Structure 1
Amino acid sequence: MNLNSNVTVVIPCYNDGLYIMEALHSILNQTIKADKIIIVDDGSDEETKKVLEKISHDNVSIIYQENQGVCKARNNAINLAQTDYILNLDADDYFEPTFIEKALEVLNNNDRIAAVGCWVKILKNKTLEKEIKKPSGGTITNFILMNNGIASSMFRKKCWEMVSGYDEEMTNGYEDWEFWIAILKQNFEMKILEEPLFIYRVKSNSRDQHALKRYDFDLRKYIFLKHKELYQEHFDFFALELLRKNSIFRANENKIKRSIDFRIGNLILSPIRFFKQKRKK
């Protein structure tokens, strides 16, 4: 076992007893081993705790906390880490075996790179989808309008220290996006390995989907106000990108309206609308 990889892997776990062992084994089976793996139980149910209690490995530690959210869980674990590099992994996802090796090569050879992610395979209903998610990474302008990274990336602990960790006020999501913005505006970059080395599991009750459906505007507003000086500095870029996105949205909307399925749907619904209007009169 390589004890000098200089990597600590942080795995927050909340009621993920069904998946935590797959996540853990994906780290234990890396071609270059992590110095330390810290699993943070964020107030899970008894079934998950039973699974965690069975884990016994020399470089795996489990810490327990009351349910305080993923930001608090990550910050608590990273604060304990004694390595220069941190790798995030959610308990229901997993990595291919070469991720740590390839991410380390990038970080060890370029001081301007703050974080390394990769392309993403999507696991839905126990099946890997054909489409690969390809975030671009890059500099701060790549993150002003959208998150062009992934939460499960390897980053420098000193960058986490520079921005005072994850924002623990962001309990409803998008905390990784805000984290990357805070780091990258310090003149750093994120590198994306152009290989699908990370597997993201889609669940019906996922936190990401919940954030998108219920809190998207509020979270974007929070990020905007927190980093308002950044958006003011790049105002022209930000405004033009918004206009471009709006044009794409309107073009797609018109395309849908012109589609055969849409027109057939309108024909089917038109009698119903007619009788509704009659009843109102």
Structure 2
Amino acid sequence: MDHRFLTIIPLYNKEAAIERAITSVLSQTVVTDLLIINDGSTDDSLSIASEFESDAVMIISQDNQGVSNARNKGISYAKSNNYDCILFLDADDYWETNHVEELTKNILKFPNATVFANNYKIRKSATTFEATLFSNLETDTSRELDDFFIYNYLNSILFSSSFGFKTSITSLYNEEITHSEDIDFYVQLALHEKIAFNPTVTVIKDETAVNRSHLINLETRTYTDFDIYEKFTSQHKGLKKFLDINRYALAIELIIANQKVEAQQLVSKMEFSNLTAKQQKLLKLSSWQLKLLKRIHHRLSNSGLRIRTGR
């Protein structure tokens, strides 16, 4: 059975990377149409994207409304135009030519699943690529995940450029969230959908790209209310720890930004048994100490040395 795929690229001021992203979509061994949502770009992103002469490429331009709005617009377009599956690709990132092909394998292998993810690696510098590690996942074969959350304590199985889903799902991105909106969406999917994972690496997450969203000042952003998912923790054994690890990560960012009151509010919701001893110690450090450690970690990571922060 053939599937109609629609890939969605939210585009905002990515003139340095958008050509590479589009080329990687058009180079797939399994065909996918491409919808670019130009979200009010003010640089040359739109003109670069418009140079691609392909019937598979469509562009919709709008005033800047944020990545969640752009993704939701894409989801609505896919459903209205009878596509079977939706894929996302961030303009910073790019795919190997077999990305859609590997997703298709899991669509066929796991007919009850509605969400499909491939593995990815992280580009730390021009010459350094880091493999992605997942907690409690030691298999080299594709599998349907029985408890999504227990595999996500180190890195996220779902990453915005690495997964796709059937248009039958009803979840949408929360457009009021401007920080960790992806995590909020992943929790929705994990609570309501069946997720299949393919360990084949087909995606490159480029952390060297300029203007990645995590570089935006935290004080200007709103983030996921993890508390609303506490009521599901009795049904999903890994969820509480998953929420606490994400609270921890956000609390560290808030401490670095000198937002100590907001950080403490998150800390008060955590069960410290869900954190490593190292993580517990880091929460006690000052803003300047964490900034120093972050700079050291960044340099070591770019040199290819990994420092594990989860379990």
TM-score of the superposed pair, with normalisation by structure 1: 0.74
Q: CA deviation at 1:112?
A: 3.3
**Is structure 2 residue 47 aligned with structure 1 residue 17?**
no
Q: Which moved more, 1:62-71 or 1:138-147?
A: 138-147
Q: Secondary structure at the match of 1:113?
A: coil
**Is structure 2 residue 277 aligned with structure 1 residue 247?**
yes
Match of 2:57 among 57, 60, 64: 60
**Is structure 2 residue 26 aligned with structure 1 residue 39?**
no
Residue type at the aligned position of 2:180: Y
Q: Distance in 2 between matches of 1:214 and 1:46?
A: 25
Higher-Rg structure is: 1
**Is structure 2 residue 187 aligned with structure 1 residue 173?**
no
Q: Is the 8 A contact 1:144 1:238 kept in 2?
A: no
Q: Distance in 2 between matches of 1:126 and 1:246?
A: 32
More helix by share: 1
Q: Following superposition, which runs of at least 4 residues in structure 1 exceed 6 angstroms of deviation?
A: 143-146
**Is structure 2 residue 159 aligned with structure 1 residue 150?**
yes
Match runs of 1:159-238 below 5 Å: 159=169, 162-163=170-171, 165-170=172-177, 172-186=178-192, 188-202=193-207, 203=209, 205-210=211-216, 219-220=223-224, 222=225, 224-231=226-233, 233-234=235-236, 238=240
For residues 180 and 37 of structure 1, do their structure 2 counterparts lie closer, same or farther at Cα, with a shift above 3 Å needed?
same
Q: CA deviation at 1:51?
A: 1.1
Residue type at the aligned position of 1:249: Q
Q: Is the 8 A contact 2:150 2:238 kept in 1?
A: no
Q: Is the 8 A contact 1:119 1:133 kept in 2?
A: yes
Q: Is the 8 A contact 2:272 2:280 kept in 1?
A: no
Q: Is the 8 A contact 1:11 1:38 kept in 2?
A: yes
For residues 20 and 219 of structure 1, do their structure 2 counterparts lie closer, same or farther at Cα, with a shift above 3 Å needed?
same
Q: Is the 8 A contact 2:92 2:206 kept in 1?
A: yes
**Is structure 2 residue 35 aligned with structure 1 residue 28?**
no
Q: Distance in 2 between matches of 1:210 and 1:45?
A: 17
Q: CA deviation at 1:235?
A: 7.5
For residues 156 and 40 of structure 1, do their structure 2 counterparts lie closer, same or farther at Cα, with a shift above 3 Å needed?
same
Q: Secondary structure at the match of 2:275?
A: helix
Residue type at the aligned position of 1:176: D
Deviation per CA, 1:237-277, whole angstroms, max 9, x where unpaired?
72697514143535899xxxxxxxx9xxxxxxxxxxxxxxx
Q: CA deviation at 1:184?
A: 1.8
Q: CA RMSD in A?
A: 3.2
**Is structure 2 residue 87 aligned with structure 1 residue 78?**
no
Q: Distance in 2 between matches of 1:228 and 1:183?
A: 16
Q: Is the 8 A contact 2:3 2:84 kept in 1?
A: no
Q: Secondary structure at the match of 2:233?
A: helix
Q: Which moved more, 1:60-69 or 1:195-204?
A: 195-204
Q: Is the 8 A contact 1:144 1:231 kept in 2?
A: no
For residues 78 and 248 of structure 1, do their structure 2 counterparts lie closer, same or farther at Cα, with a shift above 3 Å needed?
same
Q: Is the 8 A contact 1:114 1:184 kept in 2?
A: no
Q: Distance in 1 between matches of 2:156 and 2:220?
A: 15
Q: CA deviation at 1:147?
A: 4.0
For residues 53 and 191 of structure 1, do their structure 2 counterparts lie closer, same or farther at Cα, with a shift above 3 Å needed?
same
Q: Is the 8 A contact 1:10 1:77 kept in 2?
A: yes
TM-score of the superposed pair, with normalisation by structure 2: 0.68
Residue type at the aligned position of 1:77: G
Q: Which runs of 5+ in 1 are unaligned?
A: 254-261, 263-281
For residues 64 and 236 of structure 1, do their structure 2 counterparts lie closer, same or farther at Cα, with a shift above 3 Å needed?
closer
Q: Is the 8 A contact 2:92 2:212 kept in 1?
A: no
Q: CA deviation at 1:143?
A: 7.3
Q: Give the equivalent residue in structure 2 for 1:274.
A: none
More strand by share: 1
Q: CA deviation at 1:101?
A: 0.8
For residues 244 and 180 of structure 1, do their structure 2 counterparts lie closer, same or farther at Cα, with a shift above 3 Å needed?
closer
Q: Is the 8 A contact 1:142 1:148 kept in 2?
A: no
Residue type at the aligned position of 2:13: N
Q: CA deviation at 1:114?
A: 2.5
Q: Is the 8 A contact 1:26 1:96 kept in 2?
A: yes
Q: CA deviation at 1:78?
A: 1.7
